Amino acid sequence: MSDKILIAGNWAIGEAAIRAGCRFYAGYPITPQNELTEYMAENMRRAEGGTFIQAESEIAAVNMVLGASAAGARAMTSSSSPGISLKQEGISALAADELPAVIVNMMRGGPGLGNILPSQGDYFQATRGGGHGDYRTIVLAPASVQELADLTMDAFDLADKYRNPVMILGDGMTGQMMEPVVFGKPRPRRYNEKYVLKGAGEGKSKFIRALILDALRMEEHNWKLVRKYRVVEQNEVRFETYKTGNARLIIIAYGIAARIAKGAINRLRDSGMKVGLIRPITLWPFPAQIIRDTAERIDRFLVFEMSTGQMIDDVKLALEGKGHVSFYGRPGGVVPTPAELAKAIVQEYRR
Amino acid sequence: MKKVFSRPRSLKSTPFHYCAGCGHSIIHRVICEVIDELGIRGNTIGVPPAGCAVVAYNYFDVDMLEAPHGRGCAVATGIKRTLPDRVVFSYQGDGDLAAIGTAETFHAANRGENITVLFINNAVYGMTGGQMAPTTLLGQTSTTSPPGRNAILDGHPIRMSEILANLEGTAYIERVAVNSAQNILRAKKAVKKAFQYQIDGAGFNMIEVLSQCPTNWKMNTVDACRWVDEVMSKTFPIGVIKDTGKGRKDAD
């Protein structure tokens, strides 16, 4: 019997996290990700050694995760856009302390309180660190519920491997929609005990801190982090290409927008238009090389985002002035149909 | 010859960076003596704050995780829930605990988190240069209340210990001072009882320490110590504020 189940995105993240060995979750209610917090409330208590805390605030939740991570737990928190803004203090601290953690952002319309509808307006915040100081978080952008489950498991491994916060950047739609999922087999945790605070025993005491008052030492810590980020950039770039082989125009889109783009591309292909897709799966590190390589043979790109245009900056940086880049965006919680996007693509295609 | 006085095992030999007359170094030593006496050095994890005690890990020879400003109780919650058999304490100043971290402190207390909080009240923001704290006394001058704290403009000094004592989750709260030999001995007794309560699983416990800050109070040490008795303790009375008796009876 197959263990394929029909499950909503937010639940799939929770289930994948618990299967991956997540044993500490703290969260605060915010739409559209409440199902994840509720799933953890229901199921984390059943996991051996599992802790669920409904925190008093987003800030408290991420700082609880900081403590749990330092104490050796696989730890996660989740929220949606306004809540993620509040968590930035803790994400910056996790990056500075080199502590692993998984942070889920089910993006909604913004800025400010915005609304509770699917959006992609937090790309800049997610891929540029988001909080204060020189740092990066690894950002994974799932486009299906199956991928939410898979990438959640991967997120814990990546967080451990690089001792760095990892963000799962979804949106209100990926979180709410139900799709069939087969949960993968989690890999055994590989995390060096020497990084865990559990009391000094008879030995030397350890401390974890982000305050480094000496400028030269602080600088060295900054460069040390950058050296780590370079390794992440070399090893962890992920993307999908779809019908790019003979394409004359390439759509670049991530997450749920890429699903819409595939629908549009299939329609256009049916009427003979040669359109393909590059879908970044890691938003940081950004798949710049594949875009640059593609530009050797195709010179027209259309970036599609459910925002006013953020990832387009990374696309332009990747292209280094090559090719022609256009943009189609629907911010504010508007989810365009494949037909609407197809129309925008045709205009560009015929130009 | 018999050795009658030495540095506690849990205190590193690093010379303190604190100003002359400051209460922090006394409180550090008191905590370390208690950790030694309870034999919990290898089992203890401390959470230092942002503020004057930010480099507490240079002095405490126990595992430590620095908390972002005000988040000590949230960070300690994460550690304690993950490692419930460890002794976890948070060390926080008045700005940290009673202003920017009020929510974290209040809710950790309300959840009855089984942690110990050392709340260092010196009525000013020390490290940043003597600004008005939530605990600054009425009429007390600071760099941000130059004419003296005015209740109408600046609000009143907050008595966090009394506020937290109203919550069901708190097991033991006492306010002590470190301005005299006698008070230091009392403080040590309270700190030891607090750690013992945690070991006994009693729930949230906190020791508020009135700590002299001669530098920012612009006094010499003698006057600062006297001011704790004659002025500060009128607003913040010393003594047991709450004791549920949930800890071991001989904790006293």
Q: What is the pLDDT of residue B252?
A: 65
Which among A178, A175, A177 is positioned nearest to A32, based on CA atoms?
A: A175
Q: What is the pLDDT of residue B251?
A: 67
Q: Say whether both A250 and A221 belong to one domain.
A: no
Cα of A275 to nearest chain B Cα, Å: 49
C-alpha A88/C-alpha A24 separation (Å) is: 19
- Residue B62, classed as helix, strand or coil, is coil
Inter-chain Cβ pairs, chain A and chain B, closer than 8 A:
140
* Residues A171-201 pLDDT 10s: 999 999 999 999 999 999 999 999 999 999 9
B62 CB neighbours in chain A (<8 A) are 199-200, 205
Q: Is the pLDDT of residue A317 over 90?
A: yes
Q: Say whether both A126 and A206 belong to one domain.
A: yes
C-alpha A120/C-alpha A107 separation (Å) is: 6
C-alpha B115/C-alpha A101 separation (Å) is: 23
R_g of chain B, CA atoms, integer Å: 17
Contact present, A254 and A329 (Cβ < 8 Å): no
Q: Say whether both A169 and A307 belong to one domain.
A: no
Which positions in chain A have a beta carbon within 8 angstroms of at least one beta carbon in chain B? 23-24, 26, 51, 53, 55-57, 59-61, 63-73, 75, 89-90, 93, 97, 197-203, 205-211, 213
ipTM of the complex: 0.97
Tell me the two tokens of residue B118.
């050392």
Q: Is the pLDDT of residue A1 over 90?
A: no
Q: Is the pTM of this model over 0.80?
A: yes
Taking the Cβ of residue B55 and every Cβ of chain A, the question of whether any pair is shorter than 8 Å is answered with: yes
State whether A209 and B57 contact (CB < 8 Å): yes
Q: Is the pLDDT of residue A274 over 80?
A: yes
Which member of A63, A72, A199 has the closest CB to residue B43? A199
Contact present, A36 and A14 (Cβ < 8 Å): yes
* Residues A99-126 pLDDT 10s: 999 999 999 999 999 999 999 999 999 9
Residue by residue, DSSP assigns B115-175 as: -EEEEEE-SEETTTTSEE-TTPPBT--BTTBTT-B-HHHH-PPP-HHHHHHTSTTEEEEEE
Taking the Cβ of residue B128 and every Cβ of chain A, the question of whether any pair is shorter than 8 Å is answered with: no
What are the phi and psi torsion angles at B141 (to 5°)? -85, 150
Contact present, B96 and B69 (Cβ < 8 Å): yes
Structural domains counted in chain A: 2
Q: Say whether both A218 and A245 belong to one domain.
A: no
Q: Which domain holds residue A303?
A: 240-350
Angle at A39 between CA A36 and CA A40, to 5 degrees: 90
Mean model confidence pLDDT for chain A: 97
B77 CB neighbours in chain A (<8 A) are 53, 64, 67
C-alpha A127/C-alpha B211 separation (Å) is: 44
CATH assignment of the domain containing A276: 3.40.50.920
Tell me the pLDDT band of A130, cut-offs 50, 70 and 90.
Answer: very high
B79 CB neighbours in chain A (<8 A) are 67-68, 70-71, 197
Contact present, A28 and A57 (Cβ < 8 Å): yes
Percent of chain A at pLDDT > 70 equals: 99
For chain B, list the domains and their CATH numbers: 24-245 (3.40.50.970)
Taking the Cβ of residue B71 and every Cβ of chain A, the question of whether any pair is shorter than 8 Å is answered with: yes
Write down which residue in A235, A259, A293 finishes a domain: A235
- Chain-centroid distance of CA B232 in Å reads 16
Q: Say whether both A114 and A41 belong to one domain.
A: yes
Give the side-chain half-sphere CA count within 13 A for A9: 27
Cα of B252 to nearest chain A Cα, Å: 26
Contact present, A281 and A238 (Cβ < 8 Å): yes
CATH assignment of the domain containing A106: 3.40.50.970
Tell me the pLDDT band of A17, cut-offs 50, 70 and 90.
Answer: very high
Contact present, B92 and B72 (Cβ < 8 Å): yes
Q: Say whether both A251 and A224 belong to one domain.
A: no
Write down which residue in A235, A263, A280 finishes a domain: A235
Inter-axis angle of helices A9-19 and A34-43, nearest 10? 40
The number of beta carbons lying within 10 Å of the beta carbon of residue A351 is: 9
Q: Say whether both A274 and A161 belong to one domain.
A: no
Write down which residue in A208, A235, A262 finishes a domain: A235
Q: Is the pLDDT of residue A223 over 90?
A: yes
Cα of A121 to nearest chain B Cα, Å: 27
Q: Say whether both A90 and A57 belong to one domain.
A: yes
Tell me the two tokens of residue A174.
């990926």
Q: Convert chain A into a string of H (helix), E (strand) and C (coil).
A: CCCCEEEEHHHHHHHHHHHCCEEEEEECCCCCCHHHHHHHHHHHHHCCCCEEEECCCHHHHHHHHHHHHHCCCEEEEEECHHHHHHHHHHHHHHHHHCCCEEEEEEEECCCCCCCCCECCCCHHHHHCCCCCCCCCCEEECCCCHHHHHHHHHHHHHHHHHHCCEEEEEEEHHHHHCEEEECCCCCCCCCCCHHHCCCCCCCCCCCEECCCCCCHHHHHHHHHHHHHHHHHHHHHCCCEEEECCCCCCEEEECCHHHHHHHHHHHHHHHHCCCCEEEEEECEEECCCHHHHHHHCCCCCEEEEEECCCCCHHHHHHHHHCCCCEEEEEECCCCCCCCHHHHHHHHHHHHHC
Taking the Cβ of residue B32 and every Cβ of chain A, the question of whether any pair is shorter than 8 Å is answered with: no
For chain B, 252 residues long, the average pLDDT of each consecutive 10-residue run is 92 96 98 98 97 95 98 98 98 98 98 98 97 98 97 98 98 98 98 98 98 98 98 98 86 66
Q: Say whether both A289 and A223 belong to one domain.
A: no
Q: What is the pLDDT of residue A3?
A: 87
Q: Say whether both A286 and A227 belong to one domain.
A: no
Q: Say whether both A97 and A59 belong to one domain.
A: yes
The number of beta carbons lying within 10 Å of the beta carbon of residue A273 is: 17
Q: Say whether both A198 and A248 belong to one domain.
A: no
Q: For CA atoms A169, A171, A176, A182, give the dihedral sign.
A: negative
